[in-house]
Amino acid sequence: TEDELIFFEREMKDFWTTLKSIYGTQQINETLALRDSCKESIKMLSEKWSKKLKEGDLMMDKIQEYSDEILQKNQSISKNQEHLAEIKSNLNQEEEQKKTLSDSIQELKEELMKKKEILSSKNKATRERVEKLCKSKALFEERLGLEIRRIHNEQLQFIFRHIDQKDPDKPYVFTLSINEKGDYEVTSCTPPLDCIEELQLKVRETNNFSAFIANIRKAFTALSYK
């Protein structure tokens, strides 16, 4: 009520009057100034610590950012190390394959050299046998009316004449070669003889070449009477 307010104001005035009488106006003013100074100091400290806290929060965010970046770099390094390990493994495999291939090539070269040596030896033997047969040419021509010609691929062509009494110049021909095994092989025969395979096997067994030529002439002669 209005009376109560008047009473409260009066009581407050009495309180300040009593307070001033006890402490004095100067001391009260100093206390108030000290209070205001404390408030200001607290405010400044609050602002300072608030700023520090914000800086701390920014620093924590920065540290977290750096931590995330370091984690990503570590993951990238780990992936690169795995990739590098895979590359090294592939290089090792390629080196092994290269060594295996090099060994295989060397083996093939050695095998090829051996085959060349064997082939050269066979060719030499074949040439020697062909030369030997050619040296017998005069003997065969004289006794059997035979003409011998050397044709392609180191083959010899044998031409018999004076077999067919009705046509003495008619040729009876067979071609002979020496195969990879070093055996005599008849590659053609005109006119064909049914016994040519048998005669071929026989000369391989006996190596009697003169008898082989004579038997073929006999077979051609028998054929001319049919």
Q: Where are the domains of the chain?
A: 73-143, 145-225
What is the CATH topology of the domain spanning 145-225?
A: Copper Amine Oxidase; Chain A, domain 1 (3.30.457)
The alpha carbon dihedral of 177, 178, 184, 186 has a sign of negative
Predicted TM-score of the model (pTM): 0.41
Low-confidence ranges of the chain (pLDDT < 50): none
**How much is the pLDDT for 52?**
78
Would you say 122 and 180 are in contact if contact means Cβ atoms under 8 Å apart? yes
CA dist 70 and 75 (Å) reads 8
**How much is the pLDDT for 185?**
95
**How much is the pLDDT for 108?**
81
